[in-house]
Amino acid sequence: MVKKATKKEIDSIKSAFLTHYNNAVTELNYRNVYELVIAVALSAQCTDKRVNLITPALFEAYPTPYALAKANIEHVKSLIQSCSFFNNKAINLLAMAKRVVEIYGGEIPLDEKELVTLAGVGQKTAHVVLIEYTGANLMAVDTHVFRVSHRLGLSDDLTAIATEETLVKKFKSDLHQLHQGMVLFGRYICTAKNPKCDTECFLSQFCKSKDGFKPR
């Protein structure tokens, strides 16, 4: 079992993340909340780089929820086919757009309970959207945040949802910035394979394990 970080260590880790990633934002490209919801939904089990290659043509073809709600499903699939699970994602995108048009008058709701009623938008996606677009004091746990949390002894939970709850309790504030920082830290420094422990890591003194750690 990984040794847990102490209260003092947690405070130091939090401070370090806020210092190193004080202006961190998502690497997904978007121009409005409609595009952000789509980009985040597509990024599930797909890299941000891949999503950024896909979305320009998709956004040009369907610039609004109204346009997407009337889209031909096969055309949408053809635009996102290089993305993982593109069939299901295409179906969800159309269903999402139709609900936004029919229930919310074409406006993406900026409320968690409303967002998760949209097809393809679970708690993590809703939190990422609200963190990025509104700076909400929320945490979202992807594979990077999960791995970093466990390596630093911040969590020993087995699932992403449980890890999120633990991080919220331990960090309490500045969660939106901590989320963004932990994603980037996990993506480029505390990587799953060959983490840059000796060259770029600014948290090596707090590291409890170099295991891969994946949520169940």
Per-residue pLDDT of the chain (216 residues; tens, 9 = 90+): 678 999 999 999 999 999 999 989 999 999 999 999 999 999 998 999 999 999 999 999 999 999 999 999 999 999 999 999 999 999 999 999 999 999 999 999 999 999 999 999 999 999 999 999 999 999 999 999 999 999 999 999 999 999 999 999 999 999 999 999 999 999 999 999 999 999 999 999 999 988 878 887
The answer to whether residue 187 is domain-embedded is yes
The answer to whether residue 68 is domain-embedded is yes
Q: What is the largest CA-CA distance in the chain?
A: 55
pLDDT at 95: 98
Number of domains in the chain: 2
- Are residues 16 and 98 located together in one domain of the fold? no
pLDDT at 172: 97
- Are residues 147 and 127 located together in one domain of the fold? no
Which of 142, 157, 193, 210 is the catalytic position? 142
- Are residues 41 and 128 located together in one domain of the fold? yes
Domain of 83 in residue numbering reads as 33-134
pLDDT at 1: 65
Q: DSSP string covering 150-196, please?
A: HHTTS---SSHHHHHHHHHHHH-S-HHHHHHHHHHHHHHTS-SSS--
CA atoms within 13 A on the CB side of 144: 22
- Are residues 201 and 189 located together in one domain of the fold? yes
Which of 14, 89, 124, 170 is the catalytic position? 124
- CB count within 10 Å of CB 201 equals 15
pLDDT at 157: 94
**Domain edge (last residue) among 110, 134, 158:** 134
- CATH label of the domain that carries residue 160: 1.10.1670.10
pLDDT at 210: 82
The answer to whether residue 40 is domain-embedded is yes
Q: Is 3 a catalytic residue?
A: no
Q: Is 157 a catalytic residue?
A: no
**Domain edge (last residue) among 87, 104, 134:** 134
Yes or no: say if 89 and 120 are a contact pair by the CB < 8 Å rule. Answer: yes
- Are residues 72 and 120 located together in one domain of the fold? yes
pLDDT at 180: 96
**Domain edge (last residue) among 77, 103, 134:** 134
- Are residues 197 and 147 located together in one domain of the fold? yes
The answer to whether residue 2 is domain-embedded is no
